[in-house]
Structure 1
Amino acid sequence: MSGFNTNNRAVKWFDNRLPIFSYVNEHLVDYPAPRNLNYLWNFGSLAGITLVIMIATGLLLAMQYTPHVDHAFDSVERIMRDVNFGWLIRYIHMNGASFFFIVVYLHMFRGLYYGSYKAPREVLWGLGVIILLLMMATAFMGYVLPWGQMSYWGATVITNLFSAIPLVGDSIVSWLWGGFAVDNPTLNRFFALHYLLPFVIVAVVFLHLWALHRFGSNNPLGIEAKGPQDKIPFHPYYTVKDLVGLGVFLILFALFVFYAPNYMGHPDNYIEADPLVTPSHIVPEWYFLPFYAMLRAITFDISIPFTGITLIDAKLGGVLTMFGSIILLFFLPWLDSSPVRSSRFRPLYKNFFWVLVVACLVLGYVGAQPPEEPWVTIGQIATAYYFAHFLIILPLLGRLERPKPLPASISDPVLKSGGAGTSAQAKPMEKA
């Protein structure tokens, strides 16, 4: 790996005093990456690019938006109809939120499949969960800003959840609202925070990348690179790979922006907010549906047997379950007791992983359905499996599962095959 070198005297002079070019060269050009990363490792860079798109379009929209309950809905309509390319900017921002969650969810499930949360990358994983929480807060507040029916009632329902907290719940809700109902102070606060939080996300992303480059990327085999034979420079090998993934991503993104811009939204949000008319079925955006299903899965109080004393009522239990499903992810590196990272060598874990994926998809579907049978029972079963997967199955698998033998190094499958070509590399790795 060669260090940064240039014949341009001005660049050399500047870099000597503020080594930006050396830093970029070290971390984006000569950075040694495992030689066997596949296209599933594209989702991290795609998430970063989507974040930039969201901030750029958000800044443009903020210049035209009016954060007032009497004018917010009309200002969004003005953006769509009167501002030059306002419809395009808003559709990119609106669908960008959905695509941001898609790539981040796929990025996290890839980490679950290949054990990217295991030592020494626990802090890297924890920072990723913090980014997810910040994304959720930003997306929720942004959904309120158009001030449509679903915006208003979604804000009312979600903020009211904090009233379930004993003693201080009602005070927290009043503080969030800035009054006694979702009104103008609420909209102003949400607009300010929605504007601010993306820059907080950028700061945490830098920490995330810092932690990533401390120990390097995980890889499909889940073993550490042993030497130069296991690594290749990030550029041009992975920059080209990322550009291919970006091209596919932008094609899919453009298809939604230009041909189905409202497919992932709710039609009620094109009706101006009316506190006197409650929608027949209040649902959040699709990326919150699994957590919404967990919230509604708790329909019973938790009491001390034979005393009638209620410890946790159903509302508080639902709130704890919903937030607990995310907080649980922070402890994942210590809940999974297996020393083997990649599910390629963990046949039992691989099966349970796909059951978890199905459970999450079922929760997403249940969250979009009315809170009635059979959806309540199905949601309870899927919620129970979600928590059992992390709290019971993973700790037990580390003790009961017999993993397949690991290769000596990343390049070992290639060397054993007697070739160094791409096809020769791919075949034995799939066998592994």
Structure 2
Amino acid sequence: MESTILNISVIGGGYVGLVTASCFAYLGHTVRIVEIDTKKAELINKGIPPIYEEKLEDILKQTSGKNLSAQSHYEGIDDADIIFICVGTPPQDDGSADLTYITRASESIGSALKGSEKYHVITVKSTVPPGTTESVVIPAVMKSLGDTSDSVGFCMNPEFLREGRAIDDFLHPDRIVIGGSSEKAISVVQKAYEKLDALVITTSLKAAEMIKYTSNAFLATKISFSNEIGNICKRIGIDVYEVMKGVGYDHRINPYFLNAGLGFGGSCFPKDVMALIKLAEKNGENPILLKSVIDVNEQQPGRIIQVLHTRIGDIRGKRIAVLGLAFKDNTDDVRDSRSIPVIDELLTQGAIVSAFDPMATESMKKIFPDITYHTNAGDALEGADACLVLTEWPEFSKLTDEFNRMKSPVIIEGRRILSCSGIEGVCW
């Protein structure tokens, strides 16, 4: 039986939107991206990814100009079977989710669909607080649409993409979650994923929204828990990685996200846990555990500075090599990277920072334009009084002779990646 080919519009050509659109096009659907940044839209149409993501360039080359296109306006989306909302939900000053872009996109979609006789399913893929689709998206769309009929359906289809591995995660998911306003709406979204071999979970709109927040909060909790155990282990001379290896074999726990280190960063975990905290407080709950997850994470980067002081004393005027700037390996994303508070503290205390990252240098220059950046690890290590390894890039595990270029062999890991001896970890 042949798979259904759908017309899909994706609102937002950022990280989630571009990966989503590209993968749906790869699956054979006809996909249009609405991206207000005209330069970004032009790059996409040329098959050039405006962000780095493994395998994304190959997929864009196969689909751009064929069944994938990008534009900076909403015209033409009235031919879409499904319209995915993939705009940002950045944190506000108090940590709650800013739904401005969600509201604007919903209003624009409603206006663009006015007069259309086709059935459309408007599907939120952005991470939003539970209740947002019902209380914000649906009213905004219907008000602009000026129609109270059943010509549109609504779904919530959260993404579970890891940066650096997003293409594989999309095409080989653990599960696909679809929350819907009706069985009809859910069935249309299910058709978009027909070619994928994955468990499909159908829920209410609110439950689908909560599943996304809960997944990220639980993973963040595992990380902060592991770091707290690591901090205790370091005090009493135990290798936390030996401990977590033994713990991870328990099938109720599993070994993933038990690697102690500097904590979590990136565009999702910090903002989503904070948004969930604010949502709980708004509804009269005091989320003690979630607050502790954030507290542990915020304190963890400072511990590597404490270890540094223990090893070399006052760091004023000392040359400190920093290897790894991205929040994780295989990406150029520095959003909430744990290297940011570390570098900030080094500079505050008068250290001279010499940095290297395989991909994230240009991104970090926007935050710290005045530190010295190098194109390889060896040059960053030249004459260094100490080295801090802050991102788990696989190539760092191959470094050996490069450390001989340091003034003194003080090497401290924030992520356990090095294979040479004489290394101290932030919590091991």
- Bin of the TM-score, shorter chain as denominator length: under 0.3
Identify the structure with bigger relative contact order (alpha carbons < 8 Å, sequence gap 6+). Answer: 1
TM-score (norm 1): 0.23
Select the structure that is richer in helix.
1
TM-score (norm 2): 0.23
